[in-house]
Amino acid sequence: MCGIVGFTGAQNAAPILLEGLKKLEYRGYDSAGIAVMDGNSISVNKVTGRIANLCEKTDNGKAVKGGTGIGHTRWATHGAPTSENAHPHLSNDGKFAVVHNGIIENYMSLREKLISEGYHFESETDTEVIVHLIEKYYKGNVREALIKTTNKLRGSYALGVICAENPGTLYAAREASPLILGLGTDENYFASDVTALVAHTRNVIYLEDGEFAELTADSIKIFDCLGAEINKKVVRVMWDVQAAEKGGYEHFMMKEIKEQPAAVKATITPRIKDGKVVFDELDITADKLKNINKILITACGSAYYAGCAGKYALEKLCNIPVSVELASELRYSEPIIDEHTLLIVISQSGETADTIAAMKECKQKGAAVIAVVNVVGSTVAKLADYTVYTWAGPEIAVATTKGYTTQVTVLYLLSIYFADKLGLIKEDYGKYVKSVQSLPRFVQQAIDMNPQIESLAKKYHSSKALFFIGRNTDYAVSLEGALKMKEISYLHSEAYAAGELKHGTIALIEEHQPVIALCCNENIMEKTLSNIVEVKARGAEVLALTFRNNEKIVSVADDLMFIPEIDPIFSGVVEIVPLQLLAYFVAKENGCDIDKPKNLAKSVTVE
């Protein structure tokens, strides 16, 4: 997501802040800014686009005087990527500047209250409420104002603050968003990511949730949430810069696989309030929904497969037929669409050319368009009637992981939301909401319960081909699993609906042919089991994905991957995780360039 840096010491702060921000560029961002304190005055410089623009604006920082400052790279969430929305944000009296990572969930109500009290807002961001709250609560003690402010915030934050009345001091606070303090000699730092620190110091302190810090050039004080000073361990970081960017992982893909519990949580949290699914971004009335007789999902690549996985939940809960079409096909197929069609467009980047074209075509024919997008302010987001952001954070590996799982999560939430509006799921409502709320935990378990996948990869990596089979959601997830495998390991891998095997593909099954069988739905398990038996009778090696205590499958499969037991309506988000891990380890075994596979691009903006 966004990046934070802070510096205080005898050197000029701006060049150091700019260097730090450059180290955070890999995380993705769309605007940047710094605030530097010179004596009792704070100067702010912000730009849209690259850090190079900020360097140009400030003569590489040389034009900005002062030894204490904070900097930020913003990856837009609340409000478009403009310089007004870029951080740092200033208080109305100009005494405080704030940078923030995370999302303040209750910012709307705080903003309304602050406006009624006379505070003036310059941006559309959730962050700006923080700096006005600090001004409001400041009575001469910044730490007290910060504690009072953070008590009012719901959501996640890493905060960097400077106050014109306290030259030379940096303030920091953290809740559910990383913030690390760097200990230098006669100078100190903070950053949201150790990458920005290792060029200066390897001695760091990791702030924990609820903690605050005050840094001057020669001291660091840390306080708990009640303001009592605490002692924290100094940790020596041994990572080099490249390893630090990847959070210590060898590849971004693994980092992003591991980020999925948090990413899925970020998708869900703002959409479940008091046990109800809410979408503040959608104002579709029940009457309008009742008028919809068809849901059409369109997308490309993994986003298309996310649609395939979400279709089952949408149909089951909403009782509306759902079709999923590849955008590149839909745009030329003269689709039958009218004002009774609801189009759901899915795109991580929001810039995929075919997706944009298909969306325009359907919109022109009268469909209402909901976009499920990760990148704020992207073309798909702008063109849609309604935009639901996935909040997955920037994805760097070309092969999507958290992008896909958060897309499927949005479709699950939409299924419950629509079905409720249509009055269809009164009794099961609470059960469904709970199932979706459990997804981050189940995703974590799916990561934790499969250490064997690394050695399974050693067994399967040299196969000529891999076949994936499954039914319904298992089939949809097979499609994405096979895509992950071919994208990064270059192994020929294909997914088939398990029942279709006997209509052709079974001819390819021979001695030791690996077949990856997804069996995660109790209701249709017997059927897939028959297909497993069929391929085994022809010599296949079966690697099954199922529940740990599922005796039926465990006893026939040659090898196993597991997921926790989960309602099959919402299982897609969890089932994909072991397949991502399998693709990753097979690719690693084959010595492939995992984060940048050959011939592929992260965002395909041409037809």
Applying CB under 6 A, the residues found at the interface with ligand G6P are 300-303, 347-349, 352, 355, 398, 400, 600, 602-604
602 catalytic, yes or no? Answer: yes
| Bridge pairing between strands 368-373 and 341-347 | parallel
Between CA 337 and CA 324 the distance in angstroms is 13
The crossing angle, in degrees rounded to 10, of helices 439-448 and 572-589 is 30
DSSP assigned state of 1: -
Q: Which is nearer to ligand G6P, 108 or 600 (CB)?
A: 600
CA-nearest of 107, 103, 85, 95 to 33 is 85
Q: How near is the Cβ of 485 to ligand G6P at its closest, in Å?
A: 13
Q: Which is nearer to ligand G6P, 69 or 597 (CB)?
A: 597
Between CA 21 and CA 73 the distance in angstroms is 7
Q: Which is nearer to ligand G6P, 54 or 488 (CB)?
A: 488
Q: Which is nearer to ligand G6P, 48 or 302 (CB)?
A: 302
| Bridge pairing between strands 294-299 and 341-347 | parallel
The β-bridge partners of 72 are: 4, 33
CA-nearest of 183, 188, 172 to 237 is 183
Q: How near is the Cβ of 595 to ligand G6P at its closest, in Å?
A: 12
The β-bridge partners of 595 are: none
Q: Which helix (H) or strand (E) holds 51?
A: helix 51-57
Q: Is 21 exposed, middle or buried (0-12, 13-18, 19+ CB in 10 A)?
A: buried
Q: Which is nearer to ligand G6P, 51 or 594 (CB)?
A: 594
Q: How near is the Cβ of 28 to ligand G6P at its closest, in Å?
A: 13
Between CA 493 and CA 478 the distance in angstroms is 10
Q: How near is the Cβ of 511 to ligand G6P at its closest, in Å?
A: 34
Scanning the structure block, which residue is given the tokens 């990511």? 193
CA-nearest of 493, 489, 497, 485 to 513 is 493
Catalytic one of 2, 308, 362, 520: 2
Catalytic one of 232, 459, 527, 602: 602
Q: Which is nearer to ligand G6P, 51 or 346 (CB)?
A: 346
Q: Which is nearer to ligand G6P, 97 or 376 (CB)?
A: 376
Sheet (strand 235-236) strand order: 41-48, 31-38, 68-74, 3-9, 187-191, 180-183, 203-206, 235-236
The residue type at 267: T
Between CA 364 and CA 359 the distance in angstroms is 8
Q: Which is nearer to ligand G6P, 149 or 400 (CB)?
A: 400
2 catalytic, yes or no? Answer: yes
Q: How near is the Cβ of 257 to ligand G6P at its closest, in Å?
A: 14
The pair of structure tokens assigned to 126 is: 């959730």
What residues have CB less than 8 Å from 271, skipping those under 6 apart? 277, 278, 279, 413, 417
The Cα-based distances of 404 to 294, 540, 566 in angstroms read 23, 30, 19
Between CA 241 and CA 199 the distance in angstroms is 8
Q: How near is the Cβ of 349 to ligand G6P at its closest, in Å?
A: 3
The β-bridge partners of 497 are: 470
Q: How near is the Cβ of 397 to ligand G6P at its closest, in Å?
A: 9
Q: How near is the Cβ of 343 to ligand G6P at its closest, in Å?
A: 15
Q: How near is the Cβ of 602 to ligand G6P at its closest, in Å?
A: 6
Angle at 473 between CA 492 and CA 332, to 5 degrees: 70
Contact 132, 114 (CB under 8 A): yes
The dihedral over CA atoms of 53, 58, 59, 64, expressed in degrees to the nearest 10, equals -160
Contact 134, 173 (CB under 8 A): no
Q: Which is nearer to ligand G6P, 252 or 432 (CB)?
A: 252
Dihedral sign computed on CA atoms, order 267, 270, 271, 272: positive
Q: How near is the Cβ of 513 to ligand G6P at its closest, in Å?
A: 27
Q: How near is the Cβ of 197 to ligand G6P at its closest, in Å?
A: 31
Q: Which is nearer to ligand G6P, 79 or 301 (CB)?
A: 301
Q: Which is nearer to ligand G6P, 282 or 604 (CB)?
A: 604
The pair of structure tokens assigned to 575 is: 């089932």
Between CA 103 and CA 395 the distance in angstroms is 18
DSSP string for residues in 341-389 = EEEEEEESSS--HHHHHHHHHHHHTT-EEEEEESSTT-HHHHHSSEEEE
CA-nearest of 195, 179, 208, 202 to 249 is 195
- The residue whose Cβ lies closest to ligand G6P is 301
Kindly list the catalytic residues: 2, 602
